Amino acid sequence: MGEHATAVQERLRDELATRRPGREWHTEHRVGGTPVDVAGASADALALVELEWRRADPADNTAKLFRHLADGRFDAERVTVCQVFTAYYDLASGGVSSKRRNAEFVGDAAARAFDRFDYRPVDLPLGPPKRGGDLPDEWERATATAADAVADALTER
């Protein structure tokens, strides 16, 4: 990830630590050798947050995590994956791109297949700058909005 995406990733981790202090929050959490952008663990639950900045195939992130779930790589009683999509995946005509729809389809299918698994797509209302551009002034507020949605998706049991 670039420096802007890393700044948002770290801010998201910090915002989640404030909203869900009962979890230990990290960036670059390893699952099967692959880093997950943000993770929050408690004694019996694990939250995995993938930040989809400008990825060509975000469905790959969801499929990868669900494959690891099927392989038994998670000890947590409950696993929640939140896939945070920037406005890059929004269509000018309204709605979202097929890339995002495919990722959500994979996530929803996995949630139906595994009882202890939840999947939530989350909007990050931010147009990610292209290389060399600057983060928009509202990036911190947009990240807080996404953190609210992720925190709401986490059911404390």
Per DSSP, the three-state class of 153 is: helix
* Domains of the chain, residue spans: 3-153
Report the top-level CATH class of 3-153. alpha beta
Helix axes 139-153, 3-19, angle to 10 degrees: 50
CB 118 within 8 A of CB 79: yes
Query: Residue for token digits 């790589």?
Result: 73
* Model confidence, pTM: 0.93
**C-alpha count within 13 angstroms, C-beta hemisphere, residue 155:** 10
How far is it, in rounded angstroms, from Cα 54 to Cα 105? 18
How far is it, in rounded angstroms, from Cα 12 to Cα 32? 23
Tens of pLDDT, residues 33-91: 888 999 999 999 999 999 999 888 999 988 988 888 888 878 888 999 999 999 999 99
